[in-house]
């Protein structure tokens, strides 16, 4: 299953443990060096999809600072999907890097 | 507090089940994300509103064409009753104190039908509606001016849908908001020949414009408006045939809804391809 960058980094945000919605948005931004900026609408759409595909589970709602929150946890299936996706991207990056290095050696100075 | 209210208003873009399940949590996240500045709150709100509309569009995309058409006919019957009632009441108000013709069978039956339907008693509304159409329009259809009964086909189908496939009961008084345009149109609108009133036609035009605006989310309102336009067009065409006058403007009235339906179908297809 190929993941788009917003889904990839939203799932990656949950590797270290459960997080609530806003924390996922912040963590995804940090992990992507600011390349992926999740908005509230996008976040809940992709969380909904991830839950329907059993990649993520939602905890019970709780209130903190007068605002309702809910923690999301990566499932084993979600962790596996993330691992496969990162390996796929690593393989693709390795292939392209090797081709670029080979071209640089052949190219006249 | 203002942001909370604005956020709650934006969340209304989502279907009710989603709001019930996650509304407060989404509002909390929106407020967290919008804490930085009002600009960020506005951006986040816009994003949340769009996502809500997409969610609604996804919900309606699962509805079959048959159910969508049935719902459009039911809504068309409601619009038709609203506009007709406004026309009848305004005719009474403008004729006051000389005439109260609207207090006859039309008004006595149409009010209960509208109220029953708004409160969710669809089966009762449908049965009364069918009884009304049959009792009022059958003599017309069998008489020399049978073409005038053409305009009752759409509401009749709507009433049959209500009777056969009633919706779940509505809760609260919010559906009764439909009575406001009826009352407003009755008070302001000058009655026209067919009893619809100029403002009734303007209200239909506004409903059609709104239907075009929200067609990607749900085509029900546009389809219903098109059906009511077709119904009015059929009435005008029937009247023109009866009088033997040229029918070209009336043909336009009937053709317009077909064009609206075509636009609706195209927009729907485009929205399906992009989601």
What confidence tens digit (pLDDT) does each residue in B42-80 have? 888 988 888 888 888 777 667 777 777 888 888 888 888
Residues of chain A with pLDDT under 70: 1, 109
Interface pTM, i.e. ipTM = 0.84
Q: Which of B61, B83, B111 is the last residue of a domain?
A: B61
Fold held by A5-106: Arc Repressor Mutant, subunit A (1.10.10)
The whole-angstrom separation of Cα B152 and Cα B137 is: 7
- Decide if A68 and B51 are in contact by the 8 Å CB cutoff: no
Summary mean pLDDT of chain B: 75
Nearest CA of chain B to the CA of A77: how many Å?
A: 24
Task: Please indicate, yes or no, whether residues B16 and B71 belong to a single structural domain of this protein.
Answer: no
Which of residues 3 through 22 in chain B touch A, CB cutoff 8 A? 22
From B30, which residue of chain A is nearest by alpha-carbon distance?
A40
* Residues in chain B closer than 8 A to A41 (CB atoms): 44, 47-52
User: Inter-chain contact B25–A43, Cβ cutoff 8 Å?
Assistant: no
Closest residue of chain B to A46, computed from CA coordinates: B51
Together in a domain, B247 and B127: yes
Residue ranges making up the domain that contains B14: 2-61
Could you say which residues from 36 to 65 on chain A have a Cβ atom under 8 Å away from some Cβ of chain B? 39-45, 61
Strands A56-64 and A67-74 come out as antiparallel
Residue of A nearest to B50 (CA): A41
Q: Judge if B54 and B88 occupy the same domain.
A: no
Closest residue to B25, CB basis, from A39, A45, A68: A68
Per-domain residue ranges for chain A?
5-106
pLDDT digits (tens, 9 = 90+) for A48-79: 999 999 999 998 989 888 888 999 999 999 99
Give the pTM: 0.60
b/e sequence B193-231, b meaning 16+ C-beta within 10 Å: ebbbbebbbebbeebbeebbeebbbbbbbbbbbbbbbbb
Same domain, residue pair B57 and B73: no
Cβ neighbours of A20 in B, within 8 Å: 29
Does A22 touch chain B if contact means CB atoms closer than 8 Å? yes
Same-domain status, B49 and B131: no
User: What span, in angstroms and rounded, lies between the C-alpha atoms of A104 and A102?
Assistant: 5
Distance CA A38, CA B61 (A): 26
CB B81 within 8 A of CB B110: yes
Alpha carbon B165 to its chain centroid, in Å, reads 18
Write down the pLDDT at residue B274.
47
> What are the contacts of B191-198 at 24+ separation with CB within 8 A?
B191/B87, B191/B90, B191/B91, B191/B94, B192/B87, B193/B239, B194/B87, B194/B232, B194/B235, B194/B236, B194/B239, B195/B84, B195/B87, B195/B88, B195/B91, B196/B83, B196/B84, B196/B87, B196/B232, B197/B83, B197/B86, B197/B87, B197/B90
Asked whether B198 and B189 are in contact (CB, 8 A), the reply is yes
Least confident of A69-78, B79-88, B182-191: B182-191
CB-based contact A61 B24, cutoff 8 Å: yes
Number of domains in chain B: 2
Quote the Cα angle for A64-A66-A67, to 5°.
70
Q: Say yes or no: B49 and B167 in one domain.
A: no
Boundary residue ending a domain (B40, B61, B82): B61
Same-domain status, B25 and B97: no
A67-74: strand order across its sheet: A19-20, A67-74, A56-64
Which uninterrupted H or E stretch holds B115?
A: helix B105-118
């Amino acid at each position: 299953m190929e993941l788009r960058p917003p889904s990839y980094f939203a799932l990656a945000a949950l590797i270290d443990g459960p997080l609530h919605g806003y924390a996922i948005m912040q963590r995804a931004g940090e992990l992507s060096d600011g390349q992926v900026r999740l908005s509230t609408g996008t976040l809940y759409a992709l969380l909904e999809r991830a839950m329907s595909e059993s990649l993520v589970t939602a905890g019970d709602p709780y209130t903190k600072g007068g605002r309702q929150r809910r923690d999301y946890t990566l499932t084993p299936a979600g962790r596996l999907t993330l691992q496969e996706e990162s390996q796929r991207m690593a393989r693709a990056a390795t292939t392209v890097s090797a081709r670029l290095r080979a071209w640089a050696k052949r190219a006249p100075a | 507090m203002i942001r909370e209210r604005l956020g709650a208003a934006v969340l209304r873009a989502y279907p009710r089940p989603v709001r019930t399940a996650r509304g407060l949590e989404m509002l909390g996240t929106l407020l967290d994300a919008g804490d930085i500045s009002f600009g960020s709150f506005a951006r986040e709100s816009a994003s949340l509103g769009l996502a809500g509309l997409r969610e609604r569009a996804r919900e309606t995309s699962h509805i079959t064409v048959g159910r969508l058409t049935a719902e459009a006919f039911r809504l068309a019957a409601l619009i038709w009753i609203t506009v007709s009632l406004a026309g009848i009441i305004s005719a009474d108000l403008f004729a006051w104190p000389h005439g109260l013709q609207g207090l006859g069978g039309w008004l006595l039956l149409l009010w209960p039908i509208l109220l029953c339907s708004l409160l969710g008693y669809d089966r009762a509304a449908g049965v009364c509606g069918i009884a009304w159409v049959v009792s009022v329009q059958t003599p017309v259809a069998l008489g020399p001016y049978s073409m005038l009964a053409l305009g009752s086909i759409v509401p009749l189908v709507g009433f049959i849908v209500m009777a056969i496939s009633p919706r779940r009961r509505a809760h609260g008084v919010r559906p009764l908001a439909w009575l406001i345009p009826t009352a407003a149109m009755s008070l302001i609108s000058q009655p026209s020949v067919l009893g619809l009133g100029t403002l009734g036609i303007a209200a239909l035009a506004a409903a059609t414009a709104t239907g075009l605006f929200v067609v990607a989310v749900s085509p029900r309102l546009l389809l219903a408006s098109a059906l009511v336009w077709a119904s009015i067009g059929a009435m005008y065409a029937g009247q023109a045939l009866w009088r033997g006058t040229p029918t070209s403007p009336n043909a336009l009235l009937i053709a317009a809804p077909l064009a609206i339906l075509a636009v609706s179908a195209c927009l729907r297809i485009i929205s399906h391809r992009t989601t």
